[in-house]
């Protein structure tokens, strides 16, 4: 009989402990608010970062799995101000702004933007650089050859152009690694190709 009472008390204590730990109090949740970010159709290898308005990277992550991305962030330790999430894939950059004010975080999903990044492709000794856009913008293209250190072999700046499509012919004799650096709207993109 004593063993039955002891076992019953142990079970009651265990269930009470599980219940208390499984249901945190409202005060704990309010003192530690979290921001949940959900992104659809991400691909493995996409880059996600949190940046301030000056472009300083505060957090960086490489997406591990394709599909939906769901993660909870504690952004309340950031100083009051404006920030943004930035998701970069092969063709575009998506930014989602948010504001931190008095330890409250508000996502501004209705103000998110998508910028198409320059697309670089190579075939045989040709390099294709394209950047479609309905808005005129500038694009700087630098091509480097790896000759025991990257050496600039071509540079071009296009001003106020909408749909950009350039084809560069590389020297068939200079086999090896090349680096194509494009600069657009204050951003720099680097693509590596091999001939």
User: What does DSSP say about strands 164-169 and 137-146: parallel, antiparallel, or unpaired?
Assistant: unpaired
- 118 pLDDT above the threshold of 70: yes
- 45 pLDDT above the threshold of 60: yes
Helix (H) or strand (E) holding 59: strand 57-62
Helix (H) or strand (E) holding 129: strand 126-131
What value does the mean pLDDT of the chain take? Answer: 82
Give the chain's domains with CATH numbers: 32-115 (2.60.40), 118-194 (2.60.40.1930)
Q: pTM for this one?
A: 0.64
Per-residue pLDDT band at 47 (split at 50, 70, 90): very high
């Amino acid at each position: 009989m004593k063993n039955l009472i002891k076992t019953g008390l142990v079970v009651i204590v265990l269930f009470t402990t599980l219940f208390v730990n499984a249901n945190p109090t409202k005060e704990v949740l309010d003192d530690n608010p979290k921001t949940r970010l959900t992104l659809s159709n991400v691909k493995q290898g996409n880059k996600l970062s949190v940046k301030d308005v000056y472009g300083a990277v505060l957090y960086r992550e490489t997406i591990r799995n394709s599909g939906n991305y769901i993660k909870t962030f504690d952004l309340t330790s950031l100083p009051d101000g404006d920030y943004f999430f930035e998701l970069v894939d092969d063709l575009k950059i998506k930014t989602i702004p948010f504001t931190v004010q008095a330890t409250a975080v508000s996502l501004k999903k209705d103000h998110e933007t998508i910028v198409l990044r320059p697309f670089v492709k190579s075939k045989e000794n040709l390099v294709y650089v394209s950047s479609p856009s309905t808005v005129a913008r500038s694009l700087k293209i630098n091509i480097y050859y790896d000759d025991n250190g990257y050496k600039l072999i071509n540079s071009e700046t296009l001003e106020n152009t909408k749909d950009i499509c350039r084809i560069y012919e590389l020297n068939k004799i200079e086999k090896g690694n090349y680096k194509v650096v494009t600069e657009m709207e204050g951003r720099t993109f680097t693509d590596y190709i091999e001939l």
